[in-house]
Amino acid sequence: MIARELVGTASVPGHRGELRCYRHDRDFAIWIDRTELMSSRVHGSEEALAELGLAHLGDRAQSRVLIGGLGMGFTLARALALVPDDATIDVAEIVPAVVEWNRELFGHCAGHPLRDPRAHVFVGDVADAIAAAKAEYDAILLDVDNGPEGLSRPANDRLYDPRGLAAIHTALRPGAVLAVWSSADHHAFEARLRRAPFRVETHHVRARRSKGPRRTIWVAARR
């Protein structure tokens, strides 16, 4: 039997726990405390986030996308496969080690998306990037924490409160889309999203595409 190997640890700003990156044979996984946050074996719903969030783009020239949370790069990789050659994708990742792990440990699992010149990753809080943007993005894709309730970083909750949603609305261009990944339904957030100036669709997808736990993705078009 092949033993699981700890290959990296990192602190999370605003959280007392630590991220732990494990390798098991050819697979990698990132945990916090006793919760597995992501795995290179299970990434169907992360890819679905890009597909659902970018479905409205078509061949829009010079489209610009913001992804909150690099994770293991699967959302970014799928987004790069969907956008035109002249598109730009900004990726905000608050934990520097996650960027390093993508470059040095498991980037091959998603096809090394950080090597694509259209991808621009920066270490920082996606909420700050959103607050600084004024009608700049054609899509914002959020896979931050475990969804609208903070697990690894309670400060992430501010993305999903009324002020956070208002900032996202301002950061989007007319007709642009916000897509939010969650590990489960969250009725209070969905109601909040519908009260904001968005047209909302709720999608349920499987973690492994055709099987596995059910995940929730909200797609909210800017009115």
Single pTM value for the model: 0.95
Q: Which domain holds residue 145?
A: 42-222
Q: Is residue 134 part of a domain?
A: yes
Q: 72: domain CATH number?
A: 3.40.50.150
pLDDT band at 60 (very low <50, low <70, confident <90, very high): confident
Contact 116, 80 (CB under 8 A): yes
Q: Is residue 150 part of a domain?
A: yes
151 pLDDT higher than 60: no
Q: Is residue 18 part of a domain?
A: no
Q: Is residue 146 part of a domain?
A: yes
Q: Is residue 19 part of a domain?
A: no
Per-residue pLDDT tens digits for 205-215: 999 987 889 99
